[in-house]
Amino acid sequence: MQVPVQLEIRLASLAHTTGRDTETLLQEAIERYADHEEHFLAAVEEGIASADNGNLIDDEKVLHWLQERERS
């Protein structure tokens, strides 16, 4: 994989600052990304299953919840 020059510079700076090599930083970043995506996909599947079972929220309740969040 070709890493853009600007990203290589940032990665090298992080490696220097943290005392780790760039390969370790890349490995950690890929692992965090994979963890996040797996969690996200599991949550989507859970939501789809819930909707398939008829567990839905009324539009008005959702709009009210969104409006409350905007006020916070």
Taking a C-beta distance cutoff of 8 angstroms, is the pair 3, 10 a contact?
A: no
- The domain tally of the chain equals 1
The answer on pLDDT for 22 being more than 90 is: yes
The answer on pLDDT for 72 being more than 90 is: no
36-55, pLDDT tens digit by residue? Answer: 999 999 999 999 999 999 99
Closest CA to 31 of 43, 19, 39: 39
Residue 71 and residue 21: Cα distance in Å, rounded? 45
Residue 1 and residue 17: Cα distance in Å, rounded? 24
Task: List all residues 6 or more positions away from 24 whose beta carbon is below 8 Å from its beta carbon.
Answer: 15
Task: Show the domain range for 9.
Answer: 5-71
